[in-house]
A and B are shown apart, each in its own frame.
Chain A
Amino acid sequence: MKLLVRNGRIVDPASGRDAQGDLLIVDGRIAALDGAARSAGAERTLDAQGLVVAPGLIDLSARLREPGYEYKATLESEMDAAVAGGVTSLACPPDTDPPLDEPGLVDMLRRRAKALSRARVYPVGALTVQLKGQTLTEMAELAEAGCVAFSQANVALDDTQVLWRALQYAATFGFPVWLRAEDLSLARGGVAHDGEVATRLGLPGIPPFAETIALATILELVRATGARVHVCRLSTAAAVEMIRQAKGEGLPVSCDVGIHYVHLSDMDLGYFDAHCRLVPPLRSQRDRDALAAGLADGTIDCACSDHTPVDEDQKQLPFAEAEPGATGLELLLPLALKWGAGRKLSLAQTLARVTSDAARVLGVHSGRLEPGAPGDVVVFDPAASFQVTAQALRSQGKNSPFLGYELAGRVRYTLVAGNLVYEHQ
């Protein structure tokens, strides 16, 4: 099938292109741009006048809540949310129930996702059995079943020896390991950033060195094993600096930040707003600003949504008892645009952090608009704004610190493998 996306502002961060033009997709792949696209004779045309045409967003962390948490959300609802947000590829963490530590579970998840024909789902496998931090999983088997990396999700490993062996094993096969840097014992009992806000609100705090101490351990083990590690959800200014130095040293590390963290700080907790109960915690304004700058200068490779649907019952609780997490698939684009505008970056530079750079970490060929790349495209209006309300969100998770906010960046069309999987009414 030949599909032409006509007259849009084509922004391709990978090549640096930002110019009006046309895009042709044939048999699920980008076939041609501009002149060659126009003259090809398409069966279907989408008018992208006044809109931006970009690679579909790639989200490195989105919880789909299946298997096991179907009362929180289902694959259908979350995949709907993904494509409504212009996300065409997403990686899901292994903290499902049961955790993704068996090839059969991974296989089933991939089949289910594929059958829904919306975004592409890349499962991240469990690093240890049941995520318990004791026995290694059969990483090779899991990789064969489709896992793109291995992680402990938010379940910190307390045994450094196990972490070391896991990294050695993964390095043997060249498997990437995605880790959140958090020292279990220092974070224990904490629910907020250990600073002035937590002191005022009387909330148990997680000190910033809970992240940096764990990060130092991880970096040492990377030096020792040569494992490829992607550090997930940085939260402190100090960690950004450590990654900068590690990259300068030539270590095979990459990292990401949750898009919420370049906008929000612990000041946003207000009067105990449980929608700001997140893991890692929202930290000081200084940390937020360092994360925003680190994402801009590329020290932080990409931003993800860390989409975590939580039902309202679990948020209508005292702060420390509320379940952490925020919905985010549908807000990744507008929040990324807001960040980029705030840093005075070009649209291409902004979008790189949620397309080509994320693709590089994920190890996929999408995230770019060159001939031969998968036909995963998002067409959006950067100026159109919408109000973030429960009704407006397709995800079953309505839990967002941005509820009530007006955000700019509204998706018009989402294409996956050349199929129109979402159209804004």
Chain B
Amino acid sequence: MRHSPQLNGDGKLQHLLSIEGLPREILVQILDTAASFVGVTEREVKKVPLLRGKSVFNLFFEPSTRTRTTFEIAAKRLSADVINLNVAASSQTKGESLLDTVANLSAMQADLFVVRHGSSGAPFMIARHVKPHEHVINAGDGRHAHPTQGLLDLYTIRHYKGEFSQLTVAVVGDILHSRVARSLIHGLTTLGVPEVRVIGPQTLLPAGVESLGVRRFHDMRAGLKGCDVVVMLRLQSERMRGALLPSAQEFFKHYGLTAEKLALAKHDAIVMHPGPMNRGVEIDSTVADGPHSVILPQVTFGIAVRMAVMSIVAGN
């Protein structure tokens, strides 16, 4: 099982499971295609007929209104039919295995599965078992990957900064549990960003994180110096209970983004956040709503990026 599970025999994107393992050309293709779709989202008729007659099944084993809605909008703007299945964890205990669920949907003429699952690797397993004309898009698996989020983050950076080869990018917060961070880091290193930093307390940085090609910082002020891009990660409240952090207040004091800390970055630095934000925990309201923040545009770009991904895989 050493071949790439995402690429077909011709090296074209069959599934989007993770940014890791994708060649640079495919990342660039997705970003370029997304740019075309941004144009579509800006006009009055926001639909194109590309996926007409195709069925997109949103298979969300982890609840999420935001991501699911974005995928739904993106699919509908491609004229696809969208079916939402919120398979809550409890229905899994009714005994139907993951593969049985997928097989049943396959029998209903699915073309594209958008899958979010709490266990790392679940979309890979699904992709191994779907039919040749079916495509899987990973909408987030455990801590492992969230490739469409990584792509929209890359798109956002490209939109505001032009290109990647001179940037210093910092990712701040709970890297340990973050699939968003992993995907973004892989994307940044593949696209040639020379300096990628991760900033957080030791408890939130995973073992051997440097092997991802990043520099680790425990001191946020040192880590933000000279940054072009600052990406703040969401801190989940459960982390306070798992003996990883004492309190949100202490976290905010040392790792929250305030205007004062942001001033250490470049004067034209942009601030990103995958959302939803915990104001006052990882980010101060003045920064979130301030001139450096590109958090709202990220959302618009998210629809175009997902349209790009779906239209590329569904055509291969």
B207 and A273 contacting across the interface, CB-CB below 8 Å = no
Q: Counting chain B CB atoms within 10 Å of each CB, which of A201, A204, A205 scores highest?
A: A201
Q: How far is the CA of A201 from the CA of B209 in the complex (A)?
A: 12
Q: B145 to chain A: which residues have CB within 8 Å?
A: 202
A271/B5 contact (C-beta < 8 A), A199-B208, A199-B212, A201-B120 known: yes
Query: Closest residue of chain A to B185, judged by CB?
Result: A200
Q: A205 to chain B: which residues have CB within 8 Å?
A: 206-207
A316/B207 contact (C-beta < 8 A), A200-B20, A202-B145, A202-B179 known: no
Asked if B124 is at the interface (CB within 8 A of a chain A CB), the reply is yes
B239 nearest CB across to chain A (Å): 14
Q: How far is the CA of A201 from the CA of B121 in the complex (A)?
A: 8
**B interface, size bucket:** 20 to 34
Q: B142 to chain A: which residues have CB within 8 Å?
A: 202-203, 318, 320
Q: How far is the CA of A272 from the CA of B209 in the complex (A)?
A: 19
Asked if A194 is at the interface (CB within 8 A of a chain B CB), the reply is yes
Contact with A along B138-149 (1 / 0, CB 8 A): 000111110000
Asked if A342 is at the interface (CB within 8 A of a chain B CB), the reply is no
B302 nearest CB across to chain A (Å): 21
Query: Closest residue of chain A to B20, judged by CB?
Result: A200
**A interface, size bucket:** 20 to 34
A320/B207 contact (C-beta < 8 A), A202-B145, A202-B182, A272-B125 known: no
Q: How far is the CA of A272 from the CA of B5 in the complex (A)?
A: 11
Asked if A423 is at the interface (CB within 8 A of a chain B CB), the reply is no
A317/B5 contact (C-beta < 8 A), A200-B20, A200-B212, A201-B144 known: no
A321/B211 contact (C-beta < 8 A), A270-B1, A272-B124, A316-B125 known: no
Q: Counting chain B CB atoms within 10 Å of each CB, which of A199, A204, A270, A274 scores highest?
A: A199
Q: B2 to chain A: which residues have CB within 8 Å?
A: 270
Asked if A319 is at the interface (CB within 8 A of a chain B CB), the reply is yes
Q: Counting chain B CB atoms within 10 Å of each CB, which of A195, A202, A205 scores highest?
A: A202
Q: B229 to chain A: which residues have CB within 8 Å?
A: none
Asked if B117 is at the interface (CB within 8 A of a chain A CB), the reply is yes
Asked if A207 is at the interface (CB within 8 A of a chain B CB), the reply is yes
Asked if B30 is at the interface (CB within 8 A of a chain A CB), the reply is no
| Contact partner, A317, options B98, B141, B182, B209, Cβ 8 Å | B98
Q: B211 to chain A: which residues have CB within 8 Å?
A: 196, 199-200
Asked if B119 is at the interface (CB within 8 A of a chain A CB), the reply is yes
B176 nearest CB across to chain A (Å): 8
Q: A159 to chain B: which residues have CB within 8 Å?
A: none
B1 and A198 contacting across the interface, CB-CB below 8 Å = no
A382 nearest CB across to chain B (Å): 28
Asked if A313 is at the interface (CB within 8 A of a chain B CB), the reply is yes
Q: How far is the CA of A71 from the CA of B209 in the complex (A)?
A: 42
Query: Closest residue of chain B to A284, judged by CB?
Result: B208
Asked if B165 is at the interface (CB within 8 A of a chain A CB), the reply is no
A203 nearest CB across to chain B (Å): 5
Q: B179 to chain A: which residues have CB within 8 Å?
A: 202
Contact with A along B177-206 (1 / 0, CB 8 A): 001001000000000000000000000001
A287 nearest CB across to chain B (Å): 14
Q: A207-B207, A274-B125 are in contact. List 10 more A-B contacts (CB 8 A).
A: A199-B208, A199-B211, A201-B121, A205-B207, A273-B1, A316-B97, A318-B120, A318-B122, A318-B141, A319-B121
Where the two chains meet, the residues of B that have a C-beta atom closer than 8 Å to any C-beta of A are: 1-2, 5, 20, 97-99, 117, 119-122, 124-125, 141-145, 179, 182, 206-209, 211-212
Closest 6 CB pairs of A and B: A272-B121, A202-B144, A202-B143, A318-B119, A196-B208, A318-B122
